[in-house]
Amino acid sequence: MKRAFLLACAGMVLLCRNAPAADTTAVAGPLTVAADGAVLMDSFSGVFLWEKNPNGRYYPASSTKVLTAMLVIESGHLDEPVTVALEDTKVEPSSLDLKPGEVYTRRQLLYGLLLKSANDVAMTLARDNAGSVAQFAEKMTKRAAELGATESHFTNPHGLHHPQHYTTAHDLGLICRAAMQLPYLREIVRTQTYDWISPKGIVPLRNHNRLLARYPGCIGLKTGYTRPAQQVLVSSALREGREFLVVVLHTDRPGIWVDSTKLLDLGFASDQF
């Protein structure tokens, strides 16, 4: 209580991670969200401003691909060619129907990864980066831990369900904040449409994140869905020099948009943040 009092007096809004949602709102009245786990973060300071079950273990689904993209971009040489292998294509939809022997640059593959959320692209990038999916997954878990995301464990680069592939709202916030410090990743996740060029012709890709068109200042980030994970969304918005990042985990499809909008609004509405 003494610590909480001192923090309040200092104008801090970061609240105890284990508090219920109604008690973790730092501004005018309680806020409720449908998501089982959610956080609002100040992207610049890294301070968590609002939390609901931030340390609960959830499946990240395709939000996993933010970490995949981060590792690829950090490795550099994005214009190097990558040849698709047969093993890369043996994965469930969604996919870009890659065929063995096709050649793409890492740069192009990153657009397919983050806009189309293509699982065959994720497999291709993981194998190219680490030699195998298993080795890439080890790199993912290690990199997440370096960022402070120590309650997460990854088994694949795409987010298809595996019982040992999990994260928390808090950890995913840390991962995505770090990823958004990469200029090329920021460029991709704010892109609404992209022309994917393949031997079969041009395929227009459209970003699955509806907030890019609907929420003023939205600059990303990534949707996700599997049946065990339910709907997942990490979103970020920038206005007048203030940037916030929101994670919502395990909710329904209307909920990811409604919850994310509520939390972004909460950030921009308060002078405390």
Q: Which of 62, 63, 152, 260 is catalytic?
A: 62
Among this protein's residues, is 117 annotated catalytic? yes
Q: Cis omega before residue 94 (within 30°)? A: yes
Please list the residues that pair with 212 across neighbouring strands: none
Phi-psi region of 60 (alpha: psi -120 to 50; beta: other; left: phi over 0): alpha
Given the residues 43, 63, 65, 139, select the one marked as catalytic: 65
Length of the chain: 273
* Cα–Cα distance measured from residue 111 to residue 188, given in angstroms and rounded to the nearest whole number: 6
Q: H or E stretch including 258?
A: helix 253-269
- Cβ pair 256, 248 in contact under 8 A: yes
CA dihedral over 166, 41, 67, 95, signed as positive or negative: positive
For residue 267, what are its two tokens?
A: 């950030």
Which is catalytic among the residues 117, 152, 235, 236? 117
Say whether 142 is catalytic.
no
Cα of 120 vs its chain's centroid, Å: 18
Any catalytic annotation for residue 236? Answer: no
Catalytic positions are 62, 65, 117
